[in-house]
């Protein structure tokens, strides 16, 4: 096996494996010179069994810490899911209220437009009524004698002009 075979694992090339497997080094910069030194591992103390036992205890201790942190993470995720569901329900409720408010607003706007149109129609009607009333009292004048025409057809007779002339003569002797 070559070093390239160590970096391949089932067809996947891991470019970082060499740097992980390489021994640790320390870099120091003294007097303008970069010094690279291998890190020396501490010398093991005690027998192999004692070292394995301390390693097993450390692994067990860290394993329980990891289990507890996973449990805490799981409970935090559950709590967050509950909060998210509550917020989604609240947002849905707010959205429904917003849409209902928009519908009410459109309804009232339509009612206001209807009232405005109705007011315009009523104003037009009142204007016509007022014009009719002013015409009743301020009749159009005749070009012949300057007097208003009679309001009704019944008042109109053939002697209209004659009676008007007689009235004028009596008024101005």
**What is the mean pLDDT of each successive set of 10 residues along the chain, which is 173 residues long?**
50 65 81 86 80 86 86 92 96 96 93 85 85 67 69 56 70 73
- Residue 102 domain-assigned (yes or no): yes
What is the per-residue pLDDT for 101? 96
Is 63 within a domain? yes
First-residue to last-residue Cα distance in the chain: 150
CA torsion angle for 105, 107, 111, 117 (degrees, to 10)? Answer: 100
pLDDT, residue 39, reads 81
- Domain membership flag for residue 173: no
Place of tokens 């053939």: 158
- 81 Cα distance to chain centroid: 23
Q: Map tokens 């009749």 to a residue.
A: 139
Please tell me the predicted confidence (pLDDT) of residue 7: 47
Total of domains in the chain: 1
Q: Is 55 within the bounds of a domain?
A: yes
Q: What is the CA radius of gyration of the chain?
A: 54
Question: What span, in angstroms and rounded, lies between the C-alpha atoms of 7 and 140?
Answer: 114
d(CA 84, CA 155): 88
The residues with which 36 forms a beta bridge, in sequence order, are 27
pLDDT at residue 47, as a whole number: 85
Judge if pTM exceeds 0.75.
no
Question: What pLDDT score was predicted for residue 4?
Answer: 52
CA distances from residue 112 to 24, 36, 37, 98 in whole angstroms, order as listed: 81, 85, 87, 21
What is d(CA 139, CA 109) in angstroms, rounded to the nearest whole number? 43
Q: 142 lies in which domain range? A: 3-166
In a domain, 172, yes or no: no
Domain assignment present for 61? yes
pLDDT at 62: 84
CA–CA separation, 75 and 87 (whole Å): 18
**Cα dihedral: 149, 151, 154, 158 (round 10):** 0
Q: Does residue 69 form part of some domain?
A: yes
Token pair for 88:
């989604």
Whether 131 maps to a domain, the answer reads yes
* Residue 1 confidence (pLDDT): 45
């Amino acid at each position: 096996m070559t070093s390239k075979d160590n970096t391949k694992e089932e067809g996947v090339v891991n470019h970082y494996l060499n740097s992980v497997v390489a021994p640790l080094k320390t870099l120091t910069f003294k007097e303008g010179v970069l010094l690279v030194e291998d890190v020396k591992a501490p010398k093991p103390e005690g027998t192999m069994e004692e070292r394995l036992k301390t390693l097993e205890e450390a692994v067990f201790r860290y394993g329980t810490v990891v289990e507890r942190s996973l449990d805490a993470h799981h409970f935090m995720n559950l709590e967050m899911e509950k909060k998210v569901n509550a917020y989604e329900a609240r947002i849905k409720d707010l959205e429904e209220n917003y849409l209902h408010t928009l519908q009410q607003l459109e309804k009232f706007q339509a009612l206001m437009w209807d009232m405005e149109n109705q007011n315009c129609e009523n104003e037009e009607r009142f204007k016509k009524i007022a014009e009719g009333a002013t015409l009743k009292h301020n009749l159009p004048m005749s070009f012949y004698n300057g007097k208003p025409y009679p309001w009704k057809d019944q008042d109109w007779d053939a002697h209209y002009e004659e009676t008007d002339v007689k009235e004028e003569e009596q008024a101005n002797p």
